[in-house]
Chain A
Amino acid sequence: MIQTELAIVGAGPAGLSAAIEARRAGADVLLIDENSRPGGQLFKQIHKFFGSRAHKAGTRGMNIGTQLLKESEELGIRTCLKGEVCGIEDGQNLWVVIDRNRSEIVKAKKIILATGATENAVAFPGWDLPGVMGAGAAQTMINVNRVLPGKKVLMLGSGNVGVIVSYQLLQAGADVVAVLEAAPRLGGYGVHTAKVARAGVPFYVSHTVKQAFGTDHVEAVEIVELDGSFNQIPGTERILEADTICLATGLTPLTELAWLAGCEFKYIPALGGHLPIHDDRMHTTKENVFVAGDITGIEEASTAMEEGRLAGINAAAELGYINEEEARIRSEEIWDSLNCLRSGYFGQKRRESKDLMLHTGNEVIQWKIH
């Protein structure tokens, strides 16, 4: 059995930021991640981040990852890699399988779940053929493993993930045959979209994949136009040659452990569906369990890092390492920063959804814990 004051599940931007704050305050931290290397998705983000300079805008995601790892090493944060958290029992015992080979129980006084998200699937005949994959998976292949997933790629989804990965696939030497978007207008930031358009990649709005053809691998894709109610319009089908289909159709928060811990949930579609209710300290309805990052709703690495800091500070405060007043003041500063990140055309909707969550969280959790 491993004992720790604070166990953090997930060493992505949220988990690392939480670990750094809590360790800096003096807490004994154990950071657990299923991968062989910490950093989550940061090391495949070779593009520069948006936002203000205070939020590391203009810095490439992978460099933010390197910086966070350096800080966590300097603080001597205990890290358990290749550690898959398979369950939570009795509120605070984590069942961890290490290296697929050993079962361990981690007994923690506080837990922060920073498990991130998983890519959404789109089902169509042939989507289970090799060659159909999440856009994020393709991005990992090219930017982390340096393997080209295919030569002719069709991208389904024109949001930021779709256009950023399309551009990086082009840079890696693939041909992007088309970017499809089911909605009548494109979804990504103009800067990223324009780069792909300038490279000559055709964009099809109000289109989706009807089916994929191939025997043991994708060989061609049939695409089809959609009407205003997202129904396929017969007679508009056309066939494109492609060996890879990337699905960039959104993400779903990875909430299994929060369900197992017994957290209460709220359904907020704009943030990705069912989410563990949390208050402004990132505390859930379950005593001693905090959340941070994409598990609380799909956003960006910049917001995940700030939420991680919030969870880290407030978990350390509950452990007695930071006094309540200081935790409150520092949390307020982080909330100002988060509200700043959640502004503008793309951020406003997230801000409203997050406010809704906080409203519920502060109401439900106050009487439960205090």
Chain B
Amino acid sequence: MHDELICRCEEVSREEIEKAIEDGAVTANEVKRFTRAGMGLCQGRTCRRLVERILSEKTGIPLSEIQPSTYRQPVRPVRSDLIREHNKNKSEGELNDE
């Protein structure tokens, strides 16, 4: 039988996520930090809701009370030199504003 992967980008299985919750993770952010689920290329776009559901099932916290894990830019996979370019653009923009 195949493993049941939850986060495909970081290859985190259901078992690993359940283990993290057993070890004390009670928020989506904690599951993310414990396991790296949602920290890959798609930034949790696919697994985010699956993780939230497992968390709700395992802890009994209703889905409505589970805060989504923090969103950070870039929300799309980008080359690292483009991040550098963006930071340069930003500081130039600030200089122009002054």
Q: Which residues of A contact B (CB under 8 A)?
A: 1, 34, 84-89, 93, 95, 97, 100-105, 107, 118, 120-121, 123-129, 211-212, 252, 254, 256-257, 259-260, 267, 269, 273-274
Contact = CB atoms under 8 A, between A and B. Distances in A.
| Residue from A85, A107, A267 having most chain B Cβ neighbours under 10 A | A267
A100 B14 CA distance: 33
A34 to B, nearest CB: 8
Given A89-B73, A212-B2, 8 more contacts: A86-B75, A86-B86, A89-B90, A103-B86, A103-B89, A118-B46, A128-B8, A252-B48
Given A97-B82, A102-B82, A267-B64, A125 B74 contact: no
B75 A260 contact: yes
26 contacts: A84-B76, A86-B75, A86-B78, A86-B86, A87-B74, A95-B73, A95-B86, A103-B82, A103-B83, A103-B86, A107-B93, A121-B50, A123-B4, A125-B2, A126-B2, A127-B4, A127-B5, A129-B2, A211-B2, A252-B48, A260-B71, A260-B72, A267-B63, A267-B64, A269-B63, A269-B64
Contacts of A1: 89, 93
A23 B83 CA distance: 32
Contacts of B14: 123
A260 B74 CA distance: 10
A95 B93 CA distance: 12
B47 interface: yes
A273 B79 CA distance: 31
Contacts of B21: none
Interface in B48-71: 48-50, 63-64, 68, 71
Contacts of B43: 256
Contact of A257 (B75, B83, B86, B90): B75
B2 A121 contact: no
A101 B79 CA distance: 8
B23 interface: no
Given A1-B93, A103-B82, A121-B47, A86 B73 contact: yes
Contacts of A256: 43, 71, 75
A105 B63 contact: no
Contacts of A211: 1-2
A97 B5 contact: no
A87 B74 CA distance: 6
B45 A118 contact: yes
Q: Which bucket holds chain B's interface residue count?
A: 20 to 34
Closest 9 pairs between A and B when the two form their complex, measured CB to CB: A87-B73, A86-B74, A103-B85, A259-B71, A103-B86, A126-B2, A256-B75, A125-B2, A84-B76
B31 interface: no
Contacts of A101: 82
B3 interface: yes
Nearest to A214: B2
A36 to B, nearest CB: 15
Interface string B8-51: 10000010000000000000000000000000000101111110
B71 A105 contact: no
Given A97-B82, A123-B14, A260 B73 contact: yes
Contacts of B72: 260
Contacts of B50: 121, 123
Given A1-B89, A103-B82, A274-B68, A123 B6 contact: yes
A34 B8 CA distance: 23
Contacts of B85: 102-103
Contacts of A127: 4-5
Contacts of A34: 76
Nearest to B65: A267
Nearest to B70: A259
A121 B48 CA distance: 9
Contacts of A118: 45-46
